[in-house]
Amino acid sequence: MRKLIALGAEIGWWNALLYGIHLVLSRYFRGADLFKYYLVAQPVGKKPNLPPHRGRSIQVRLVPEEDGVVKAFPRPQAAIRDRYQQGAVCLGAFNDDTLVGYLWLILDSYDEDEVRCRFVLEPLGEVAWDFDVYVRPDYRSSLVFARLWDEANGYLRERGIRWTLSRVSAFNRMSRESHRRLGAVDVGSALFLVMGGRQLMFSTCRPYLHISSGSASIPVVRVTPLTVSY
């Protein structure tokens, strides 16, 4: 009960209830799960997060698919291949040639790899999608996260991108807080109930409701930052 009360205080009682359902489904029902995402818009920073003299020991560069370091990514290789096939780019952070973090960007629609969903970005050419921002556990108190975002913002500015969109798990308080510190604001949410090959989606973004009976049926969710008052 104490854990439930603490979780409710952290992520809200409704989200805590959904998280409990997620745990029950994922542990006791094969092929079943429940996911809730917040869809957030983050302005592309015009200035670096770090002063010029800080974080220089962390090198950030594009990681092409053929780079051998890709095999060290803590993700299924099939998912990594699919990301590159979609046209996503990966920015990797290195300390003495050792991979210590990365983030992914895509400038077009993105096919989610946790549920069946295609996120379409609007307006095209002004927004990007960021996902799977990862920092090695022993570097999470370092400047790796800030360095990654400084380089990502520079990459996006050069291409005329004003906003980056993403989905954040409603059950991950730390990720929510990290995005807020970077200026992210909520522009929508989506709830997915998965039961084997079937999937039910409720979203505050179009098409709002989608029922899928197989892998060929994928909801196309349109996400835009234009509802944000800035």
Read off the pLDDT of residues 37-88 as tens digits, 9 standing for 90 and up. Answer: 999 999 998 888 777 777 678 999 999 999 999 999 999 999 999 999 999 9
Taking the C-alpha atoms of residue 189 and residue 210, their distance in angstroms, rounded to an integer, is 14
Give the Cβ contact number of residue 104 at 10 Å: 23
Average pLDDT of the chain, as a whole number: 92
Q: Residue 127 pLDDT more than 70?
A: yes
Which distant-in-sequence residues (6+ apart) come within 8 Å of 217 by Cβ? 116, 199, 210
pTM for this predicted structure: 0.90
- Whether 156 contacts 128, CB under 8 Å: yes
Q: Residue 114 pLDDT more than 50?
A: yes
What pLDDT, on the 0 to 100 scale, is given for residue 227? 65
Give the Cβ contact number of residue 6 at 10 Å: 11
Q: Residue 15 pLDDT more than 90?
A: yes
4 falls in which pLDDT band (50, 70, 90)?
low
Taking the C-alpha atoms of residue 167 and residue 190, their distance in angstroms, rounded to an integer, is 9
| Average pLDDT estimate for 104-126 | 95
Sorted by where each begins, the domain ranges of the chain are: 2-223
Please state the CATH superfamily assignment of the domain spanning residues 2-223 in this structure: Gcn5-related N-acetyltransferase (GNAT) (3.40.630.30)
Q: For the segment 164-214, what is each residue's pLDDT rounded down to a tens digit?
A: 999 999 999 989 998 898 899 999 999 999 999 999 999 999 999 999 998
SS3 at position 35: strand
Residue 52: cis peptide before it, omega within 30 degrees of 0:
no
Taking the C-alpha atoms of residue 105 and residue 7, their distance in angstroms, rounded to an integer, is 31
